[in-house]
Protein backbone atom coordinates (compact mmCIF):
# COMPACT_ATOMS: atom_id res chain seq x y z
CA UNK A 1 0.00 0.00 0.00
CA UNK A 2 1.29 3.53 0.60
CA UNK A 3 2.17 5.75 -2.36
CA UNK A 4 5.24 4.63 -4.27
CA UNK A 5 7.51 7.58 -5.02
CA UNK A 6 10.94 6.98 -6.49
CA UNK A 7 13.84 8.34 -4.43
CA UNK A 8 14.96 10.95 -6.98
CA UNK A 9 11.45 12.36 -7.42
CA UNK A 10 10.97 12.37 -3.65
CA UNK A 11 14.09 14.49 -3.33
CA UNK A 12 12.74 16.97 -5.84
CA UNK A 13 9.29 16.87 -4.25
CA UNK A 14 7.77 16.29 -7.71
CA UNK A 15 8.00 13.44 -10.22
CA UNK A 16 10.77 13.86 -12.76
CA UNK A 17 10.61 13.63 -16.53
CA UNK A 18 13.91 13.05 -18.29
CA UNK A 19 14.97 13.44 -21.90
CA UNK A 20 17.79 11.09 -22.81
CA UNK A 21 19.90 11.71 -25.92
CA UNK A 22 22.60 9.11 -26.27
CA UNK A 23 23.25 5.79 -24.58
CA UNK A 24 20.03 3.83 -24.14
CA UNK A 25 21.48 2.23 -20.99
CA UNK A 26 21.19 5.54 -19.19
CA UNK A 27 17.48 5.74 -20.01
CA UNK A 28 17.01 2.17 -18.82
CA UNK A 29 18.61 3.03 -15.49
CA UNK A 30 16.15 5.90 -15.05
CA UNK A 31 13.25 3.67 -16.01
CA UNK A 32 14.24 1.21 -13.32
CA UNK A 33 13.72 4.05 -10.85
CA UNK A 34 10.21 4.63 -12.25
CA UNK A 35 11.18 7.94 -13.81
CA UNK A 36 9.51 8.83 -17.11
CA UNK A 37 12.13 8.92 -19.84
CA UNK A 38 11.79 10.01 -23.44
CA UNK A 39 14.60 8.26 -25.32
CA UNK A 40 15.45 10.35 -28.36
CA UNK A 41 16.26 8.37 -31.48
CA UNK A 42 17.79 11.38 -33.19
CA UNK A 43 19.03 11.24 -36.75
CA UNK A 44 19.93 13.89 -39.29
CA UNK A 45 17.29 14.70 -41.94
CA UNK A 46 17.81 13.40 -45.50
CA UNK A 47 20.55 15.63 -46.89
CA UNK A 48 19.37 15.72 -50.47
CA UNK A 49 15.94 17.31 -49.96
CA UNK A 50 15.77 20.89 -51.23
CA UNK A 51 13.26 23.38 -49.80
CA UNK A 52 10.57 23.94 -52.41
CA UNK A 53 9.48 27.56 -52.13
CA UNK A 54 7.85 28.43 -55.43
CA UNK A 55 6.39 26.33 -58.25
CA UNK A 56 7.72 26.63 -61.80
CA UNK A 57 4.47 28.41 -62.62
CA UNK A 58 5.37 31.01 -59.98
CA UNK A 59 3.03 30.14 -57.13
CA UNK A 60 4.44 30.67 -53.60
CA UNK A 61 3.84 27.29 -52.00
CA UNK A 62 3.54 28.65 -48.44
CA UNK A 63 0.77 30.97 -49.57
CA UNK A 64 -1.07 28.16 -51.34
CA UNK A 65 -0.75 25.97 -48.26
CA UNK A 66 -1.90 28.74 -45.94
CA UNK A 67 -5.06 29.03 -48.04
CA UNK A 68 -5.50 25.25 -48.01
CA UNK A 69 -5.32 24.96 -44.23
CA UNK A 70 -7.48 28.06 -43.84
CA UNK A 71 -10.20 26.32 -45.86
CA UNK A 72 -9.76 23.02 -44.02
CA UNK A 73 -10.00 24.65 -40.59
CA UNK A 74 -12.92 26.90 -41.48
CA UNK A 75 -15.05 24.00 -42.67
CA UNK A 76 -18.25 23.36 -40.71
CA UNK A 77 -19.30 19.75 -41.28
CA UNK A 78 -22.79 18.84 -40.10
CA UNK A 79 -25.12 15.88 -40.45
CA UNK A 80 -27.85 17.11 -42.76
CA UNK A 81 -29.62 13.82 -43.38
CA UNK A 82 -29.39 10.18 -44.37
CA UNK A 83 -30.13 8.54 -47.69
CA UNK A 84 -29.66 5.38 -49.73
CA UNK A 85 -26.30 5.22 -51.52
CA UNK A 86 -27.74 4.82 -55.04
CA UNK A 87 -30.01 7.83 -54.51
CA UNK A 88 -27.58 10.27 -52.96
CA UNK A 89 -23.95 9.46 -53.81
CA UNK A 90 -22.99 11.26 -57.03
CA UNK A 91 -22.10 8.85 -59.84
CA UNK A 92 -23.23 5.75 -57.94
CA UNK A 93 -24.88 3.17 -60.19
CA UNK A 94 -26.82 -0.05 -59.57
CA UNK A 95 -23.90 -2.29 -60.53
CA UNK A 96 -21.23 -0.28 -58.72
CA UNK A 97 -19.40 -1.11 -55.53
CA UNK A 98 -17.28 1.52 -53.84
CA UNK A 99 -14.23 0.54 -51.80
CA UNK A 100 -11.59 2.19 -49.63
CA UNK A 101 -8.24 3.46 -50.85
CA UNK A 102 -6.88 4.05 -54.34
CA UNK A 103 -8.35 2.28 -57.41
CA UNK A 104 -7.82 -1.47 -57.60
CA UNK A 105 -8.88 -4.42 -59.73
CA UNK A 106 -10.53 -7.59 -58.39
CA UNK A 107 -7.36 -9.49 -59.22
CA UNK A 108 -5.22 -7.36 -56.91
CA UNK A 109 -7.84 -6.91 -54.19
CA UNK A 110 -6.92 -8.11 -50.70
CA UNK A 111 -8.87 -10.75 -48.81
CA UNK A 112 -10.99 -8.48 -46.61
CA UNK A 113 -12.03 -6.26 -49.52
CA UNK A 114 -12.94 -9.32 -51.56
CA UNK A 115 -14.85 -10.69 -48.58
CA UNK A 116 -16.76 -7.43 -48.16
CA UNK A 117 -17.60 -7.30 -51.88
CA UNK A 118 -18.79 -10.90 -51.81
CA UNK A 119 -20.92 -10.24 -48.74
CA UNK A 120 -22.32 -6.99 -50.13
CA UNK A 121 -23.58 -8.66 -53.33
CA UNK A 122 -25.40 -11.31 -51.27
CA UNK A 123 -26.80 -8.56 -49.05
CA UNK A 124 -27.98 -6.72 -52.17
CA UNK A 125 -29.78 -9.88 -53.36
CA UNK A 126 -27.64 -9.90 -56.51
CA UNK A 127 -25.93 -13.18 -55.58
CA UNK A 128 -27.04 -16.24 -53.61
CA UNK A 129 -23.70 -17.03 -51.99
CA UNK A 130 -20.29 -15.39 -51.59
CA UNK A 131 -19.02 -17.78 -54.29
CA UNK A 132 -21.75 -16.59 -56.68
CA UNK A 133 -20.65 -13.03 -55.89
CA UNK A 134 -17.08 -13.82 -56.91
CA UNK A 135 -18.34 -15.41 -60.13
CA UNK A 136 -20.42 -12.32 -60.93
CA UNK A 137 -17.40 -10.10 -60.41
CA UNK A 138 -15.25 -12.34 -62.58
CA UNK A 139 -17.87 -12.16 -65.34
CA UNK A 140 -17.33 -8.37 -65.28
CA UNK A 141 -20.82 -7.53 -64.06
CA UNK A 142 -19.63 -5.24 -61.25
CA UNK A 143 -17.91 -1.89 -61.53
CA UNK A 144 -15.47 -0.94 -58.76
CA UNK A 145 -14.57 2.61 -57.83
CA UNK A 146 -12.84 4.23 -54.86
CA UNK A 147 -15.14 5.93 -52.33
CA UNK A 148 -12.87 8.97 -52.69
CA UNK A 149 -13.91 9.36 -56.33
CA UNK A 150 -17.49 9.91 -55.14
CA UNK A 151 -17.04 12.29 -52.17
CA UNK A 152 -17.37 9.25 -49.92
CA UNK A 153 -15.18 7.50 -47.38
CA UNK A 154 -15.36 3.96 -46.03
CA UNK A 155 -13.65 2.44 -42.98
CA UNK A 156 -11.54 -0.74 -43.53
CA UNK A 157 -12.71 -2.45 -46.76
CA UNK A 158 -14.94 0.60 -47.14
CA UNK A 159 -17.45 -1.23 -49.29
CA UNK A 160 -20.57 0.73 -50.19
CA UNK A 161 -23.20 -1.09 -52.24
CA UNK A 162 -26.17 0.65 -53.89
CA UNK A 163 -28.88 -0.07 -51.31
CA UNK A 164 -26.84 0.74 -48.20
CA UNK A 165 -27.99 3.70 -46.13
CA UNK A 166 -25.43 6.47 -45.72
CA UNK A 167 -24.93 9.58 -43.60
CA UNK A 168 -25.00 12.82 -45.58
CA UNK A 169 -22.52 15.31 -44.12
CA UNK A 170 -22.47 18.82 -45.50
CA UNK A 171 -19.74 21.39 -45.03
CA UNK A 172 -22.04 24.29 -44.22
CA UNK A 173 -19.27 26.80 -44.95
CA UNK A 174 -18.56 25.64 -48.50
CA UNK A 175 -21.65 23.62 -49.45
CA UNK A 176 -19.84 20.40 -50.41
CA UNK A 177 -21.15 17.07 -49.16
CA UNK A 178 -19.51 13.81 -48.04
CA UNK A 179 -21.00 10.34 -47.51
CA UNK A 180 -20.35 7.32 -45.32
CA UNK A 181 -22.22 4.13 -44.38
CA UNK A 182 -23.48 3.54 -40.82
CA UNK A 183 -21.03 1.75 -38.51
CA UNK A 184 -21.86 -1.93 -37.93
CA UNK A 185 -19.78 -2.47 -34.76
CA UNK A 186 -16.64 -4.55 -34.28
CA UNK A 187 -15.81 -8.20 -34.85
CA UNK A 188 -17.55 -10.19 -37.57
CA UNK A 189 -18.67 -7.26 -39.73
CA UNK A 190 -18.65 -6.56 -43.45
CA UNK A 191 -16.13 -3.73 -43.36
CA UNK A 192 -13.53 -6.13 -41.89
CA UNK A 193 -14.25 -8.56 -44.73
CA UNK A 194 -16.70 -10.83 -42.92
CA UNK A 195 -19.82 -12.27 -44.57
CA UNK A 196 -22.53 -14.73 -43.52
CA UNK A 197 -26.08 -14.69 -42.10
CA UNK A 198 -25.10 -12.73 -38.98
CA UNK A 199 -23.61 -10.00 -41.17
CA UNK A 200 -26.55 -9.80 -43.63
CA UNK A 201 -29.11 -9.81 -40.83
CA UNK A 202 -27.43 -6.88 -39.12
CA UNK A 203 -27.14 -4.94 -42.39
CA UNK A 204 -30.83 -5.51 -43.13
CA UNK A 205 -31.85 -4.33 -39.65
CA UNK A 206 -29.68 -1.27 -40.16
CA UNK A 207 -31.41 -0.49 -43.47
CA UNK A 208 -34.94 -1.35 -42.33
CA UNK A 209 -35.01 -0.04 -38.74
CA UNK A 210 -31.94 1.98 -37.84
CA UNK A 211 -31.80 4.08 -41.00
CA UNK A 212 -35.39 5.37 -41.09
CA UNK A 213 -35.34 6.03 -37.34
CA UNK A 214 -32.18 8.12 -37.60
CA UNK A 215 -33.37 9.82 -40.79
CA UNK A 216 -36.60 10.95 -39.13
CA UNK A 217 -34.72 12.26 -36.10
CA UNK A 218 -32.24 14.25 -38.21
CA UNK A 219 -35.07 15.66 -40.31
CA UNK A 220 -36.68 17.01 -37.14
CA UNK A 221 -33.48 18.21 -35.46
CA UNK A 222 -31.99 19.92 -38.49
CA UNK A 223 -28.22 20.01 -39.10
CA UNK A 224 -26.14 18.46 -36.30
CA UNK A 225 -22.77 20.18 -35.87
CA UNK A 226 -19.93 17.69 -36.21
CA UNK A 227 -17.00 20.08 -35.87
CA UNK A 228 -18.16 20.99 -32.38
CA UNK A 229 -18.75 17.34 -31.56
CA UNK A 230 -15.24 16.34 -32.66
CA UNK A 231 -13.76 19.27 -30.73
CA UNK A 232 -15.62 18.12 -27.60
CA UNK A 233 -14.71 14.48 -28.10
CA UNK A 234 -11.01 15.48 -28.28
CA UNK A 235 -11.49 16.92 -24.78
CA UNK A 236 -13.05 13.65 -23.66
CA UNK A 237 -10.31 11.17 -24.46
CA UNK A 238 -11.22 10.38 -28.08
CA UNK A 239 -9.00 10.96 -31.07
CA UNK A 240 -12.00 10.17 -33.30
CA UNK A 241 -10.37 7.40 -35.33
CA UNK A 242 -9.89 4.33 -33.17
CA UNK A 243 -11.39 5.78 -30.03
CA UNK A 244 -14.91 7.15 -30.48
CA UNK A 245 -16.55 6.44 -27.14
CA UNK A 246 -17.09 10.12 -26.36
CA UNK A 247 -18.16 11.01 -29.91
CA UNK A 248 -20.68 8.17 -29.89
CA UNK A 249 -21.97 9.37 -26.51
CA UNK A 250 -22.29 12.98 -27.67
CA UNK A 251 -24.05 11.90 -30.86
CA UNK A 252 -26.61 9.94 -28.87
CA UNK A 253 -27.15 12.96 -26.61
CA UNK A 254 -27.65 15.21 -29.63
CA UNK A 255 -30.03 12.82 -31.38
CA UNK A 256 -31.90 11.73 -28.24
CA UNK A 257 -34.65 14.34 -28.03
CA UNK A 258 -35.58 14.16 -31.72
CA UNK A 259 -35.37 10.36 -31.68
CA UNK A 260 -37.89 10.43 -28.82
CA UNK A 261 -40.17 12.87 -30.64
CA UNK A 262 -40.14 11.06 -33.99
CA UNK A 263 -40.14 7.37 -33.07
CA UNK A 264 -43.49 6.26 -31.66
CA UNK A 265 -42.43 2.61 -31.67
CA UNK A 266 -40.92 2.32 -28.18
CA UNK A 267 -39.26 -1.05 -28.79
CA UNK A 268 -37.66 0.11 -32.04
CA UNK A 269 -36.41 3.26 -30.33
CA UNK A 270 -34.94 1.17 -27.51
CA UNK A 271 -33.18 -1.12 -30.01
CA UNK A 272 -31.74 1.82 -31.92
CA UNK A 273 -30.34 3.32 -28.70
CA UNK A 274 -29.01 -0.09 -27.64
CA UNK A 275 -27.31 -0.63 -30.99
CA UNK A 276 -25.52 2.72 -30.78
CA UNK A 277 -24.73 2.28 -27.07
CA UNK A 278 -23.17 -1.12 -27.68
CA UNK A 279 -20.86 0.20 -30.41
CA UNK A 280 -18.33 2.78 -29.27
CA UNK A 281 -17.13 3.10 -32.87
CA UNK A 282 -20.50 4.30 -34.14
CA UNK A 283 -19.19 7.87 -34.39
CA UNK A 284 -16.25 6.85 -36.64
CA UNK A 285 -18.55 6.82 -39.65
CA UNK A 286 -19.32 10.47 -38.88
CA UNK A 287 -15.83 11.69 -37.96
CA UNK A 288 -14.65 10.29 -41.32
CA UNK A 289 -17.08 12.09 -43.63
CA UNK A 290 -16.64 15.18 -41.43
CA UNK A 291 -12.92 15.01 -42.24
CA UNK A 292 -13.64 14.42 -45.92
CA UNK A 293 -16.08 17.33 -46.03
CA UNK A 294 -13.49 19.62 -44.40
CA UNK A 295 -10.67 18.58 -46.75
CA UNK A 296 -12.37 18.80 -50.14
CA UNK A 297 -12.59 22.62 -50.27
CA UNK A 298 -8.76 22.67 -50.18
CA UNK A 299 -8.57 20.70 -53.41
CA UNK A 300 -7.47 22.43 -56.62
CA UNK A 301 -5.55 25.23 -54.88
CA UNK A 302 -2.70 25.63 -57.34
CA UNK A 303 0.70 24.94 -55.84
CA UNK A 304 -0.53 23.51 -52.54
CA UNK A 305 1.53 20.61 -51.24
CA UNK A 306 -0.97 19.78 -48.50
CA UNK A 307 -2.17 16.18 -48.55
CA UNK A 308 -5.96 16.04 -48.86
CA UNK A 309 -6.38 12.29 -49.27
CA UNK A 310 -4.52 9.43 -47.58
CA UNK A 311 -6.19 6.04 -47.99
CA UNK A 312 -5.51 2.31 -48.25
CA UNK A 313 -7.27 -0.54 -50.00
CA UNK A 314 -5.40 -3.31 -48.15
CA UNK A 315 -3.02 -3.76 -51.09
CA UNK A 316 -1.91 -0.20 -51.90
CA UNK A 317 -1.50 2.95 -49.85
CA UNK A 318 -2.26 6.17 -51.73
CA UNK A 319 -2.16 9.92 -51.22
CA UNK A 320 -3.40 12.90 -53.21
CA UNK A 321 -2.25 16.54 -52.98
CA UNK A 322 -4.46 19.63 -52.80
CA UNK A 323 -2.59 21.09 -55.80
CA UNK A 324 -3.24 18.08 -58.04
CA UNK A 325 -6.13 16.15 -56.47
CA UNK A 326 -6.86 13.82 -59.40
CA UNK A 327 -3.50 12.07 -59.16
CA UNK A 328 -2.82 9.22 -56.75
CA UNK A 329 0.71 8.54 -55.49
CA UNK A 330 0.87 4.92 -54.48
CA UNK A 331 3.06 2.53 -52.48
CA UNK A 332 2.47 -0.92 -51.01
CA UNK A 333 0.23 -0.94 -47.89
CA UNK A 334 2.20 -1.45 -44.68
CA UNK A 335 2.13 -3.99 -41.90
CA UNK A 336 0.35 -2.98 -38.71
CA UNK A 337 2.00 -3.45 -35.31
CA UNK A 338 -0.75 -4.08 -32.84
CA UNK A 339 -2.81 -5.94 -30.28
CA UNK A 340 -4.67 -9.05 -31.44
CA UNK A 341 -8.03 -10.45 -30.37
CA UNK A 342 -7.84 -13.84 -28.60
CA UNK A 343 -7.06 -16.61 -31.07
CA UNK A 344 -5.40 -14.38 -33.70
CA UNK A 345 -1.79 -13.38 -34.38
CA UNK A 346 0.19 -11.16 -36.74
CA UNK A 347 0.14 -14.14 -39.16
CA UNK A 348 -3.57 -13.53 -39.72
CA UNK A 349 -3.28 -9.81 -40.42
CA UNK A 350 -4.04 -8.19 -43.74
CA UNK A 351 -1.86 -5.16 -44.57
CA UNK A 352 -3.11 -1.68 -43.66
CA UNK A 353 -6.58 -0.92 -45.04
CA UNK A 354 -9.31 1.72 -45.11
CA UNK A 355 -10.20 5.34 -45.74
CA UNK A 356 -10.24 6.10 -42.02
CA UNK A 357 -6.87 7.86 -42.34
CA UNK A 358 -8.98 10.75 -43.56
CA UNK A 359 -9.06 11.59 -39.84
CA UNK A 360 -5.28 12.02 -39.61
CA UNK A 361 -5.40 13.95 -42.89
CA UNK A 362 -7.94 16.35 -41.39
CA UNK A 363 -5.96 16.97 -38.18
CA UNK A 364 -7.33 14.47 -35.71
CA UNK A 365 -7.22 10.64 -35.43
CA UNK A 366 -3.67 9.42 -34.82
CA UNK A 367 -2.37 12.98 -35.09
CA UNK A 368 -4.45 13.93 -32.02
CA UNK A 369 -3.50 10.81 -30.11
CA UNK A 370 -2.19 12.92 -27.21
CA UNK A 371 -5.86 13.67 -26.51
CA UNK A 372 -6.61 9.97 -26.12
CA UNK A 373 -4.15 8.27 -23.76
CA UNK A 374 -6.70 5.53 -22.98
CA UNK A 375 -6.44 4.36 -26.61
CA UNK A 376 -3.36 2.39 -25.46
CA UNK A 377 -5.70 -0.35 -24.24
CA UNK A 378 -7.07 -0.79 -27.81
CA UNK A 379 -4.07 -0.28 -30.08
CA UNK A 380 -1.16 -0.97 -27.72
CA UNK A 381 1.67 1.30 -26.59
CA UNK A 382 1.65 3.74 -23.70
CA UNK A 383 0.13 7.10 -22.89
CA UNK A 384 3.57 8.63 -23.41
CA UNK A 385 3.67 7.11 -26.92
CA UNK A 386 0.39 8.88 -27.64
CA UNK A 387 1.82 12.23 -26.52
CA UNK A 388 5.02 11.62 -28.50
CA UNK A 389 3.06 10.78 -31.65
CA UNK A 390 1.19 14.06 -31.64
CA UNK A 391 4.33 16.05 -30.83
CA UNK A 392 6.12 14.41 -33.75
CA UNK A 393 3.27 15.02 -36.19
CA UNK A 394 3.54 18.79 -35.59
CA UNK A 395 6.84 18.52 -37.45
CA UNK A 396 5.14 17.48 -40.71
CA UNK A 397 2.02 19.63 -40.51
CA UNK A 398 1.65 23.13 -41.86
CA UNK A 399 -0.63 24.45 -39.10
CA UNK A 400 -2.17 23.93 -35.69
CA UNK A 401 -5.94 23.62 -35.74
CA UNK A 402 -7.98 26.61 -34.63
CA UNK A 403 -10.97 24.53 -33.56
CA UNK A 404 -9.50 21.20 -32.43
CA UNK A 405 -7.28 21.34 -29.35
CA UNK A 406 -5.61 19.00 -26.88
CA UNK A 407 -6.12 19.81 -23.20
CA UNK A 408 -3.09 17.76 -22.08
CA UNK A 409 -0.88 19.92 -24.34
CA UNK A 410 -2.31 23.05 -22.69
CA UNK A 411 -5.00 23.31 -25.37
CA UNK A 412 -2.52 23.48 -28.25
CA UNK A 413 -4.26 23.07 -31.61
CA UNK A 414 -3.95 19.66 -33.24
CA UNK A 415 -1.40 19.23 -36.06
CA UNK A 416 -3.29 19.78 -39.32
CA UNK A 417 -2.37 19.89 -42.99
CA UNK A 418 0.34 17.35 -43.77
CA UNK A 419 2.82 19.08 -46.06
CA UNK A 420 4.61 16.64 -48.34
CA UNK A 421 7.62 18.99 -48.25
CA UNK A 422 7.91 18.71 -44.45
CA UNK A 423 7.58 14.93 -44.64
CA UNK A 424 10.51 14.83 -47.04
CA UNK A 425 12.59 17.45 -45.26
CA UNK A 426 12.25 15.89 -41.81
CA UNK A 427 12.21 12.26 -42.88
CA UNK A 428 9.24 11.81 -40.53
CA UNK A 429 6.46 9.64 -41.96
CA UNK A 430 2.83 10.07 -40.87
CA UNK A 431 1.92 7.78 -37.97
CA UNK A 432 -1.49 6.13 -38.16
CA UNK A 433 -3.60 4.02 -35.87
CA UNK A 434 -5.97 1.48 -37.36
CA UNK A 435 -8.04 -1.67 -36.99
CA UNK A 436 -6.63 -4.93 -38.37
CA UNK A 437 -8.66 -7.22 -40.68
CA UNK A 438 -8.06 -10.93 -41.25
CA UNK A 439 -6.32 -11.48 -44.57
CA UNK A 440 -8.78 -14.18 -45.60
CA UNK A 441 -12.20 -13.18 -46.98
CA UNK A 442 -15.17 -13.85 -44.70
CA UNK A 443 -13.57 -13.67 -41.25
CA UNK A 444 -13.47 -10.09 -39.96
CA UNK A 445 -11.58 -8.14 -37.32
CA UNK A 446 -8.49 -9.59 -35.64
CA UNK A 447 -6.96 -6.59 -33.84
CA UNK A 448 -5.86 -2.96 -33.88
CA UNK A 449 -2.53 -1.15 -33.86
CA UNK A 450 -0.24 1.52 -35.28
CA UNK A 451 2.12 1.97 -38.21
CA UNK A 452 3.89 4.54 -40.39
CA UNK A 453 2.74 5.44 -43.88
CA UNK A 454 5.05 4.01 -46.58
CA UNK A 455 7.75 6.43 -47.72
CA UNK A 456 7.64 5.88 -51.48
CA UNK A 457 4.37 7.68 -52.17
CA UNK A 458 5.69 10.84 -50.46
CA UNK A 459 8.94 10.63 -52.44
CA UNK A 460 6.97 10.35 -55.67
CA UNK A 461 4.59 13.14 -54.73
CA UNK A 462 7.50 15.40 -53.79
CA UNK A 463 9.18 14.72 -57.13
CA UNK A 464 5.93 15.55 -58.89
CA UNK A 465 5.70 18.87 -57.06
CA UNK A 466 9.11 19.81 -58.46
CA UNK A 467 7.58 19.74 -61.94
CA UNK A 468 4.55 21.94 -61.08
Query: What is the nearest approach in angstroms of its own copies to the Cβ of residue 66?
Result: 5
Closest approach, Cβ 79 to its own copies, in A, equals 16
Task: Output the DSSP codes for 186-223.
Answer: SSS-GGGTB-SHHHHHHHHHIIIIIHHHHHHHHHHH--
The residue among 298 and 446 lying less far from its own copies, judged by its C-beta, is 298
For the bound state, the minimum distance from the C-beta of residue 24 to its own copies, rounded and expressed in Å, comes to 15
Least distance in angstroms from the C-beta of 209 to its own copies: 13
Residue 330: strand pairing partners: 318
**Cα dist. 431→238, 390, 408 in Å?**
17, 9, 19
Q: How far does the chain reach from its first CA to its final CA, in angstroms?
A: 65
Q: Any idea of the CA torsion for 272, 276, 278, 280, to the nearest 10 degrees?
A: 180
Cα dihedral across residues 19, 21, 27, 33: positive or negative: negative
Alpha carbons 402 and 404: distance in angstroms, whole number = 6
- Residue closer to its own copies by CB (options 66, 88) is 66
CB-nearer residue toward its own copies: 239 or 316: 239
Q: How far is the CB of 389 from its own copies (least distance, A)?
A: 11
* Closest C-alpha to 101, from 335, 352, 281, 301: 352
Among residues 154 and 381, whose Cβ is nearest to its own copies? 381
Quick one: 69 or 104, whose CB is closer to its own copies? 69
Helix (H) or strand (E) holding 133: helix 130-138
Considering the complex, state which of residue 218 and residue 254 has its C-beta at the smaller distance from its own copies.
254
373 backbone φψ class: left, alpha, beta (φ>0; ψ -120 to 50): alpha
Among residues 68 and 194, whose Cβ is nearest to its own copies? 68
The candidate with the shortest Cα–Cα distance to 396, out of 422, 417, 370, is: 422
In the complex, minimum distance from the CB of residue 369 to its own copies, in angstroms, rounded to a whole number: 11
Minimum CB separation of residue 53 from its own copies in Å reads 13
Q: CA 310 to CA 352: how far, in whole Å? A: 12
Contact residues for 376 (Cβ-Cβ < 8 A; gap 6+): 382, 383, 385, 386
DSSP assignment letter at 330: E
Closest to its own copies by CB, 54 vs 391, is 391
Q: How far apart are CA 155 and CA 134, in angstroms?
A: 22
Q: What are phi and psi of 229, to 5 degrees?
A: -70, -40
Beta carbon of residue 385, minimum distance to its own copies (angstroms, whole number) = 10
Half-sphere CA count of 363, side-chain side, radius 13 A: 33
Q: What is the DSSP string of 57-103?
A: T--BHHHHHHHHHHHHHH--EEEEEEEEHHHHSTT--TTEEEESSS-
If the CB atoms of residues 65 and 350 are measured against its own copies, the closer one turns out to be 65
Least separation in angstroms between CB 265 and its own copies: 9
Compute the least distance from the CB of residue 214 to its own copies, in Å.
14
Contact 297, 287 (CB under 8 A): no
State which residue, 79 or 330, has the beta carbon closest to its own copies: 79
CB of 443 to its own copies, least distance (A): 30
Distances (CA, A) of 449 to 95, 346, 434: 34, 11, 6
SS3 30: helix
- In this complex, which beta carbon is closest to its own copies, that of residue 163 or of residue 279? 279
Amino acid sequence: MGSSADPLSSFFGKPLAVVNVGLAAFAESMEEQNIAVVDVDWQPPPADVPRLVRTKSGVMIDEANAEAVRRIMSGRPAIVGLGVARDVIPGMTDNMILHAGPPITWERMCGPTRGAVMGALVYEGLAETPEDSAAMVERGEIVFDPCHHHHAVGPMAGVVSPSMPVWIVENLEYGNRAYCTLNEGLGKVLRYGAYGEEVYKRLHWMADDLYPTLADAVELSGPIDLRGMIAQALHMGDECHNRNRAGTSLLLRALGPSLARTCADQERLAQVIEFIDKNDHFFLNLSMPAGKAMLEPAERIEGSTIITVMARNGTDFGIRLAGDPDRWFIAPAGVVEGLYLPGFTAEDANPDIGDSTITETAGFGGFAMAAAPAIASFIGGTAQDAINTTREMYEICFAEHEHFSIPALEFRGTPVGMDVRLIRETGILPKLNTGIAHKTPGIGMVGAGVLRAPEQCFIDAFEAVKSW
